[in-house]
Amino acid sequence: MKKTIGVIFGGKSPEHEVSIESAKTVCDRFEAAGFRAVPVYVPRAGAWRLPALKDLLAGRPLKGPEIEPALGRGCFVKKGGGTFRPDALFPIIHGSTGEDGVLQGLLELVGIPYTGCGVTASAVGMDKVISKELAALDGAPVLPHVVIRAHQKKDLGPLLKKAARLGFPLFVKPVAQGSSVGITKVKRAGDLRAAVLNAFRFDTAVIVEKGIDRAREIVCGVLGSHEGARASVCGEVVPKGAHEFYDYEAKYLDDNGMELRLPAPLAPATAARLRELAVRIFLALGGSGLARVDFLVDPKDERRVFFCEINTLPGFTSHSLYPRLWARTGLKPEAVLKRLVVIAERSMAARRRLTTARK
């Protein structure tokens, strides 16, 4: 009998539309891999729904019965009667509430195996500051940066001066957002304040990070768990046209916004080092299932590599980086999805075996 996989998508983040596109690809690939894919739509407001797969794939309005998660019962309750009890769940909600541990915590309480990182790793991975600090503790090189919290907005002057002393260019980012939302490249001090205030539109904390002039953006996929993880080949993201870096527009709105070089044209020793770092960072943050780890490489000296960020719920559209990295490594999307379901089931079983007794 086919296993039923609920694909949770949508959400309340700025990446809502990206999530819908990822869900289309994931559902299609799960069906091709021999599973029964059931879309679970989370609108920006209102109740969750079970739209028809054919409507999702055809781009029609996402309707269907309303559902609510049944805590501790391993299922969802349908409005009007009945339940939806999948064998596993595949969350593909990008950004806030989807890959920051919020959704993962809910799924833990429901009690259904789900793919990807757990609560802690998702929360840590979403936070660009904490993830850098943990990666650095494990020996990964990171770039100098300044963090500005919401309570410091009233007196930005000293912090802006501190950030400017890092040297330009600087990259100003919301601490907990994905898909390059709210990121600005700043080339001079006069533009720094506006960039910080713009980033505060998306989060309550901002990181100002030292940039590398003409830095090479290298990405690497990781698949596995604490029982064993492996890295894909490295890819190099080359922004095209007016894009100075791999921003939201280059990712999703401009079909010619970037070129992905597979494998990345790196010295063998550099590629091996980055793959080893990707797995080490993934495990140091408690990763499980999948992640994409991004690095910056100095174009003048390949030995100068820096951990940029980890994406614990990378996109899964037909042109997304993660599935393309694994395809070039020799693993088709269907094989990746099958492996993720196995890891999800093993991880949930392991957590259930943990004792809840005091002694």
Choosing from 13, 22, 96, 179, the catalytic residue is 179
- Three-class DSSP category at 138: coil
The DSSP-derived string for 246-288 is --HIIIII-TTSEEEESS----HHHHHHHHHHHHHHHHHTT--
For residue 100, pLDDT over 90 is answered with yes
Cα–Cα nearest to 178, from 327, 333, 19: 19
For residue 249, pLDDT over 70 is answered with no
Total domains present in the chain: 3
The helix-helix angle for 128-137 and 268-284 (nearest 10°) equals: 110
355, part of any domain: no
Distance CA(65)–CA(85), nearest Å, equals 14
Distance CA(155)–CA(31), nearest Å, equals 54
- 68 is in which domain, residue-wise? 4-114
Choosing from 182, 257, 286, 315, the catalytic residue is 315
pLDDT tier, 4 (very low <50, low <70, confident <90, very high otherwise): very high
Residue 117 has which token pair? 């990182």
Taking only the tens place, the pLDDT of each residue in 16-26 is 888 999 999 99
356, part of any domain: no
Residue 147 has which token pair? 């963090």
Kindly report the average pLDDT of the chain as a whole number.
93
Taking only the tens place, the pLDDT of each residue in 161-176 is 999 999 999 999 999 8
Residues 43 and 186 in one domain: no
Q: What is the average per-residue pLDDT within 234-259? A: 69
Q: What is the pLDDT of residue 359?
A: 74
Q: Is 256 a catalytic residue?
A: no
The CATH number of the domain where 225 resides is what?
3.30.470.20
The CATH number of the domain where 98 resides is what?
3.40.50.20
Q: What is the pLDDT of residue 255?
A: 62
pLDDT tier, 41 (very low <50, low <70, confident <90, very high otherwise): very high
Q: Is 66 a catalytic residue?
A: no
Q: What is the pLDDT of residue 180?
A: 73
Q: What is the pLDDT of residue 357?
A: 76
pLDDT tier, 356 (very low <50, low <70, confident <90, very high otherwise): confident
Token pair 């309303």 is found at 66
For residue 112, pLDDT over 70 is answered with yes
Q: What is the average per-residue pLDDT within 196-220? A: 95
Residues 8 and 81 in one domain: yes
Residues 194 and 78 in one domain: no
Choosing from 10, 11, 13, 15, the catalytic residue is 15
Q: Is 309 a catalytic residue?
A: yes
Contacts of residue 147, Cβ cutoff 8 Å, sequence gap at least 6: 129, 175, 205, 206, 207, 208
pLDDT tier, 246 (very low <50, low <70, confident <90, very high otherwise): low
Residues 238 and 195 in one domain: no
Choosing from 294, 320, 322, 324, the catalytic residue is 294
Token pair 């550099």 is found at 270
The CATH number of the domain where 170 resides is what?
3.30.1490.20
Choosing from 96, 225, 311, 347, the catalytic residue is 311
**What is the sign, positive or negative, of the torsion defined by CA atoms of 42, 124, 107, 350?**
positive
Q: What is the pLDDT of residue 162?
A: 97
Q: Is 15 a catalytic residue?
A: yes
Choosing from 22, 252, 287, 288, the catalytic residue is 252
Distance CA(101)–CA(213), nearest Å, equals 34
Cα–Cα nearest to 193, from 149, 159, 145, 238: 159
Q: What are phi and psi of 126, to 5 degrees?
A: -75, -25
357, part of any domain: no
Q: What is the pLDDT of residue 272?
A: 98
Choosing from 100, 209, 217, 309, the catalytic residue is 309
DSSP class of 341: H
